[in-house]
Amino acid sequence: MGKKRIIQQSEEELLKEREKVETKVKKEAKETLKKVKEGKICILSSYNNTIITLTDLEGNVLGWASAGSIGFKGTKKATPFAASKVAEAITQIVQKIGIEKIEVLVKGIGSGRESAIRSLAARGLKIVSIKDTTPVPHNGCRQPKVRRV
């Protein structure tokens, strides 16, 4: 076996291929965004942060925002004020896409749950339903083994 020759593409060829791929991706993204008229907003509110995700009815993510991505740091991320600011950011994405009806799914036990929902409603979104999907333990932890003396 001789030496293996690697064909190297010039920068111009690489840029042309990249442009082709980007235009395909942009076309597909625009087509999916135009079709969406209803969506789901999932609010995950923990003790440390509030994350809001916008999806279509099938669960494909269209946009997201969190208190950390907006610029809050440390314990300020878990405040109701931060959650309302995150909800404002999501409503801008919703209006840009053109979604009309929204289902809200709330998960977690943080302080930003209610303020995020109130902020979504105050921004003029038509909320169809609000559902709490917080996991609840049904049988607890496993019991410790019996002590043998």
Give me the mean pLDDT over the 138-146 stretch: 89
- In the beta sheet, which residues pair with residue 65? 52
pLDDT digits (tens, 9 = 90+) for 20-52: 888 877 777 666 656 788 999 999 999 999 999
Q: So what's the pLDDT on residue 13? A: 79
pTM of the full predicted structure?
0.72
Task: Encode pLDDT of 13-28 as tens digits.
Answer: 778 888 888 887 777 7
Domains present along the chain, CATH in parentheses: 38-132 (3.30.420.80)
Whether 83 contacts 120, CB under 8 Å: no
Q: How far is CA 76 from CA 72, 85, 99, in A?
A: 6, 12, 30
Distance between CA 55 and CA 63 in Å, rounded?
Answer: 7
Residues 84-93 have pLDDT tens digits of 999 999 999 9
No. of helices (H) and no. of strands (E), the chain: 4, 5
Tell me what pLDDT residue 9 has.
67
